[in-house]
Structures are given as C-alpha cells and as structure tokens.
C-alpha cells in the first residue's frame, strides 16, 4: 500500500512539473536563461566562436556575436552545453567582442530567429520568414566549407575584410533588419 501511495505521489509531482516547464518556455525563459549569467554568456560566446574561423577579422566576429545575441534574445532553444572550442585565441577574441557591445538585430522592433551557418553554396535562401530574402553569397563557392542554410559567417568575414562594417555586412544578408542596442 505504501509503495502505491509513493508511486501516485511521484506521478502527481511529475504531472505538476510538466506545466511549469511549459510556462517557462512560453515566457521566453530557456535553460540558458536559468543558468548563471556568466555561464550563459560563456555558452553564447562559445556558440558564436563555433561559427567563426581563426582568420576572421574583428569586425566579422562582432557581426557573428550580434547574430548569436539576436537568436538568444528571440528565445531560440539553445544547446544545453556549449560546443568545445579548441582555438583558445579565437574564443578570447569572440569573448572580447561579446563583452564590448550589446547589440541585436530586430524586425519590426522585435528580435527574430536568424539561421546562421559557416558557409552556403552561394545563396541565402529564405525559409518562409518575411524578414529573410534570397541574397547572393558568391564568395562562399570558393570557401572550401560544407554548405549550410542560413547567413554565411564566411561571407560576412569576406565583406568585412573588404572594408564593410559589421552592420553593413549584416545588412547585405538581412536588409530588412535593423541593429538595436540591447
């Protein structure tokens, strides 16, 4: 009898916990937001670093950090653990950019989810979102990286190395978005 009582009690506790987790997600709270601020910042910086290469210029790294911050502000489900970063110098450059400014991209004054990849096959293809439009990224064809879907960080680096600012490079890929201080 006692075992049945404990099983029923455990069942009701689990049933009560499920809606709480759902409500936390509905309110924009994610597992990352529940971590300490330092842990959350380190995880975001590590994810941004995983989208960069060690030859990226500082302006491109700043643009990638803006993309990562935007996705975090939009409430995308972050990975539960940060990716392993083997290039400590690159990570420290990304972390410095992450700590320097707090800017995000917005569409109609709201942060939005932006797909990001290291390289594309020469074109950003819209995924049905009103703020994403087809944009050529021809420099990706020669990057030697596997093609993915989303804003190309290799393309952003190319544009920044040619003299564009982080904001201008992001505007190339995302002309309908604006940069806002967070």
- In tens, the pLDDT along 128-168 reads 788 888 888 887 777 666 667 788 999 999 999 999 999 99
Mean pLDDT of 86-90: 85
The Cα 124–Cα 122 span in angstroms is: 7
Q: How far is CA 72 from CA 32, 93, 114, 135, in A?
A: 9, 20, 10, 24
**Is the pLDDT reported for residue 92 higher than 80?**
yes
**Is the pLDDT reported for residue 67 higher than 90?**
yes
Please name the residues in contact with 10: beta carbons below 8 A apart, sequence gap of 6 or more.
none
More confident residue, 124 or 28: 124
Is residue 138 within 8 Å of 153, Cβ to Cβ? Answer: no
The Cα 31–Cα 171 span in angstroms is: 30
**Is the pLDDT reported for residue 112 higher than 90?**
yes
- In tens, the pLDDT along 10-60 reads 555 556 655 544 444 444 444 444 456 677 778 888 888 888 988 999 999
- Nearest Cα to Cα of residue 95 among 143, 139, 44, 130: 44
């Amino acid at each position: 009898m006692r075992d049945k009582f404990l099983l029923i009690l455990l069942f009701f506790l689990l049933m009560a916990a499920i809606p709480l987790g759902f409500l936390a997600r509905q309110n924009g709270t994610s597992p990352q937001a529940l971590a300490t601020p330092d842990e959350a910042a380190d995880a975001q910086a590590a994810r941004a670093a995983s989208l960069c290469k060690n030859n990226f210029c500082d302006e491109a790294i700043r643009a990638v950090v803006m993309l990562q911050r935007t996705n975090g502000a939009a409430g995308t489900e972050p990975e539960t653990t940060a990716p392993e970063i083997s290039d400590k110098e690159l990570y420290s450059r990304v972390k410095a950019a992450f700590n320097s400014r707090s800017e995000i991209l917005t569409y109609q004054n709201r942060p939005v989810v932006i797909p990001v990849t290291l390289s594309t096959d020469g074109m950003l293809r819209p995924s049905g979102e009103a703020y994403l439009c087809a944009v050529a990224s021809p420099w990706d064809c020669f990057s030697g990286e596997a093609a993915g879907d989303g804003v190309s960080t290799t393309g952003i680096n190319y544009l920044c190395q040619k003299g564009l600012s982080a904001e201008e490079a992001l505007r190339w890929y995302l002309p309908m978005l604006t940069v806002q201080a967070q």
